[in-house]
Structures are given as C-alpha cells and as structure tokens.
Amino acid sequence: MTPNGFIPDENLPETELVLFCLPHAGGGTSAFHRLRSLVPSWLRLVPIGLPGREARFSEPAYTELGPLVTDLADAIRPHLPRTYAFLGHSMGALVFFELVREFRRQNLPLPCLFIVAAARAPHLVPNLEPLHHLPDLQFLTALHDRYGGIPEKVRDNRELVASVTPTLRADFQVLETYQYQQDAPLEVDLLALGGREDQAIMDPELAAWQQHITGCFSLQLLPGGHLFLTDSSSNTPKSAMHTIIDHLRPFAGN
C-alpha cells in the first residue's frame, strides 16, 4: 500500500499497460471487480481506493476536489507506469480530469487514453439542485430518484443510512462545489461512454468533452442508466469493457 493508501500495489509494471479506475460517488474499488475478470493479459486494471469506504472506511472522505487531486498526484507519481490510461465513472471522471491537468503542470507523462463514463463535461454547469446539504434520508432518497442504485432496504435501515451517508455526502460536496477553471485542451485521446437511459447525463453533455482534448474523440452509448458500468444485472459492463479494450489495444506494448 502506498503511503497515501490510494494504490493497492505500488509495484506497478513498466511493461504492462495499466488502467487506473475511479468509481462514481460513494463507490469503491469493488465496483470494478466484474470488469477485472474481462481484461486481457496485456492490460492491468488498478482500481484506486479512496478514503471513507472499504479498507479506508475509518478515514474521512474528501470534501474538496483540490486536496484530493494533490494527494492522488503525490501517490501515483512515484509509481507512474510507462503506458497508462484513466477510467473515471461519473465523479471519478472529474477527479481524473483535474489529475491529468495537474500531471501536465508537473510535466509528467499523460495517459494514452482518458475514458469518461456517465460524466458531463467539466465546464458545463449542471442544471440540477444541489443535494449534499439535505438531511440524511432526504439526501439518499433524492440521490436514488436522480441516479438509482440505493435500494429501499438501505433507505429504510437507520444504521445503514448513518453508515453510507457521510461518504456519499462528502463526494457530492466535491461535485457540487467544483469550480471549473478554463485552461488549454489536453493532448490526450478521449473515449466517452454513456447510458442510453441515463436521466442525469444527456448525450450533448458527454459530447462536450471533445473541446477539452486535442487528440481523438469517441462517444458510445450503451444500454442502461447512470450506473451502467457497474450494473450486475445486465451485460452492459461486459460490452463497455470490450469497447474500452478495443480503444486501448493500439497502445499495448508501447
């Protein structure tokens, strides 16, 4: 474990292509377990563990994006592989966007491919009411209505509500207090993935990522809602991973 605890294995290979992954708000490394079984031998999937969940449950989650990006850059920089890519789901995409900007400021190698899933382009102001200030149960209910993924049995259990709410609230504070600062486009390729039934992120909000890069841009819509990438009840995660692998294959062995 690295000093900051983000990367489960600090001995990242120099010859393999590494895909760093960050989940949606409230998610953990387990969100990518199903995807891990689908990766080919030339690709290594490395989920990043954030505070406030799983093995880092006792640590307070970040409430601001700036300190999270700074600490994440410090954790990854000493172990940066020769060839790597980023996969960010919703909140994870925003964190990685600012991390790539930070890497550019530090003159570090940028990812060969930046993959965003279910995330609006960072310069767009969301046409949604902030939620992180709401009381616990109202907060969870509003989240479920907007994004899905919070079972009724969780919302009806006071202990579970008290357990999951602090990290979710912190993550949404990160998202809802983010202030975009204009800068030059990034010299990376970008693949944007979206769910056809996602009511929170519309197609034009995904397409708008193109203005933030100078490399190749691709957009693909898949069956499912906001959590299509981790939906255990469908084959969409498998389809998404096949798309990701097809886009990463040209960089294998580089």
Q: Which residues pair with 46 in a beta bridge?
A: 20
90 is catalytic: yes
Residue tagged active-site, from 30, 90, 234, 239: 90
DSSP annotation of 213 reads: B
Question: Which residues, including other chains, have CB under 8 Å from residue 70's CB and lie 6 or more apart?
Answer: 102
Beta strands in 118-253 (DSSP E): 189-195, 217-222
DSSP annotation of 152 reads: H
| 193 three-state secondary structure | strand
* Contact indicator for 28, 53 with CB cutoff of 8 Å: yes
Residue 159, Cβ density class (10 Å: 0-12 exposed, 13-18 middle, ≥19 buried): exposed
* Contact indicator for 85, 248 with CB cutoff of 8 Å: yes
* Contact indicator for 2, 75 with CB cutoff of 8 Å: yes
Phi/psi for 243 (5° steps) reads -65, -45
Run of H or E including 146? helix 136-147
DSSP annotation of 61 reads: P
Catalytic residues: 90
